[in-house]
Amino acid sequence: MDTNANILRILVTSDNHVGYLEKDGIRGRDSFNTLEEILFLAQQHDVDFILAGGDLFHENRPSIHCMNEVLRLIRKYCLGDRAVRFELLSDTSKNFANVSFPFANYTDPNLNVGVPVFSIHGNHDDPAGPGNVCAPDLLHSCGFLNLFGKSNSVETLEVSPLLLRKGSTKVAIYGIGAVREERLHRLFLHDKVTFWRPEDDAEDWFSLAVVHQNRVRHGPTGYLPENFLPNFLDLVVWGHEHDCRIEPEWNSSQNFYVAQPGSSVATSLIEGEALPKAVGLLEIHGREFKTVLPIDTFYIAFEILDCLIILDCPMSDNLMRFLAGLPYERGTLRRLTSV
């Protein structure tokens, strides 16, 4: 499809968990290879930018090897002479108030950015320690991505949108990095969360939010109810949940859609992780988004095996020895090499 001057094309991804099992002799390269494939897809589909929903890294303090691989891949696929085809109109001192450089990397005359990456942080790579710094902060300081949605306050949360314009299309992107579930729930209940809207012609803007919270209820306050989010939103990109539900789902009470990219690498043996992995291609024209196209990636597939349940008896030593002796090739994981 030819790029239209008024269509904003965004590659949507989340929960890449780069560095997961990096020391494993068989699966150690999975997260790196998948990240490279995602960045390659961004180039192939000629997107305007990449929107990431948190947990780029699996560890709060990734290894030097992991950090080097991420820097290498972003440099390979996102830096270059390609022209950036949209404008950033908002006050970047508010958008990037809690990071080291209060502006987008592609506007820095010292850098040559072809595919900007805008990302919030997740619960795995969340800020901590002196300066409240996280691993994505390092990438922002290096000029490799744009970290937004970060708050240093525990009493209030002010969400100032990125205001982007491409031709006649104007998009407001609201980012909320991972916040402890109970605290965020309390902030919403006590009206301590403020979503700032564009000052002029707010209804002309397509409003998109990206969050990294539990979508599924975990106790009375251990999740973010969708009805806590403002109903002026058009689309919510939901990070943190690992099952891929990239096709937009309509919330009839709030009148917005929710798209859940899921994780790009499997990190647990659950049925949700067995769903095909994908990233989304979002096309926005005016106040409408055309669709979120799922683009399948290479993924770890799980074979759902019948369970042997032994009741009221200890597992015999012979059975334990048998299970321990099963070769890896007969296990439940296999690497797929085609999409």
What phi-psi label fits residue 208: left (phi over 0), alpha (psi between -120 and 50 degrees) or beta?
beta
* 247 alpha carbon, distance to own chain's centre: 15
Tokens at residue 148, please?
A: 């937004």
Number of C-beta neighbours around residue 257 at 10 A? 18
Measured in residues, the chain has a length of 339
3-state secondary structure the chain: CCCCCCEEEEEEECCCCECCCCCCCCCCCHHHHHHHHHHHHHHHCCCCEEEECCCCECCCCCCHHHHHHHHHHHHHHHECCCCCCCEECCCHHHHCCCCCCCCCHHHCCCCCECCCEEECCCCCCCCECCCCECHHHHHHHHCCCEECCCCCCCCCEEECCEEEEECCEEEEEEEECCCCHHHHHHHHHCCCEEECCCCCCHHHCEEEEEEECCCCCCCCCCCCCHHHCCCCCCEEEEECCCCCEEEEEEECCCCEEEEECCCCCCCCCCHHHHCCCEEEEEEEECCEEEEEEEEECCCEEECCCCCCCCCCCCCCHHHHHHHHCCCHHHCCEEECCCC
As beta bridge partners, residue 137 has: none
Closest CA to 210 of 273, 148, 254, 285: 148
Mind telling me the catalytic residues? Answer: 124
* 270 alpha carbon, distance to own chain's centre: 20
Tokens at residue 150, please?
A: 């970060």
